[in-house]
Amino acid sequence: MRPALLLPLVTAGCFGVPTPLAPSVDGSVGVPHAGVLRGAEELPARGPGFVRLRPKSPNYWGNPRLVEGIRAAAGAVAQALPGGAPLVVGDISARRGGKIPGHRSHRTGRDVDLLFYVTTPSGAPVPSPGFVKFGTDGLAQVKDELHLRLDVERNWVLVRELVSSREAQVQWLFASRGVEALLIDYARARGEPPDVIWRAETMLLEPGDSSPHDDHIHVRFACSADEEVAGCEGGGPRWEWLVSHPPLPELDARALGEIASEDPFGLEAAFSVAPAPGGDG
Domain parsing of the chain, residue ranges = 10-229
Listed in order, strand segments (DSSP E) in the chain are 27-31, 34-38, 41-42, 46-47, 50-52, 61-62, 87-89, 111-115, 118-119, 125-126, 139-143, 146-150, 170-174, 204-205, 216-221
pTM of the model: 0.79
Identify the pLDDT of residue 246: 63
- Which range scores top for mean pLDDT: 97-106, 187-196, 222-231? 187-196
Q: What is the DSSP string of 141-171?
A: EEETTEEEEE-HHHHHHHHHHHHH-TTT-EE
Q: What is the structure's pLDDT at 3?
A: 40
pLDDT of residue 236: 76
Based on its alpha-carbon atoms, the radius of gyration of the chain, rounded to whole angstroms, reads: 25
Angle at 196 between CA 193 and CA 200, to 5 degrees: 140
**In this model, does residue 95 exceed pLDDT 90?**
yes
Q: Which pLDDT score, from 0 to 100, does residue 210 have?
A: 76
Give me the mean pLDDT over the 208-221 stretch: 91
pLDDT 10s digits, 162-191: 999 988 899 999 999 999 999 999 999 999
The percentage of residues in the chain with a pLDDT greater than 90, rounded to a whole number, is 61
pLDDT in tens, 31-53: 999 999 999 999 999 999 999 99
pLDDT tens digits, one per residue of 221-280:
999 888 888 888 876 788 888 876 666 677 777 777 777 776 656 655 555 555 555 544
189 φ, ψ (degrees, to nearest 5):
-65, -30
Q: Write the single-letter amino acid at 69.
A: G
pLDDT in tens, 75-88: 999 999 999 999 99
For residue 11, pLDDT over 50 is answered with: no
> What is the mean predicted confidence (pLDDT) over 124-147?
91
Q: How far is CA 67 from CA 73, 228, 244, in A?
A: 10, 19, 21
Using CA atoms, how far apart are residues 140 and 121, in angstroms rounded to an integer? 10
Does 208 score more than 60 pLDDT?
A: yes
Residue 217 confidence (pLDDT) above 90: yes
Q: Identify the pLDDT of residue 252.
A: 76
CATH dotted code for 10-229:
3.30.1380.10
Share the mean pLDDT of the chain: 85
Decide which of 70 and 236 is more confident. 70
Q: Is the pLDDT of residue 17 over 80?
A: no
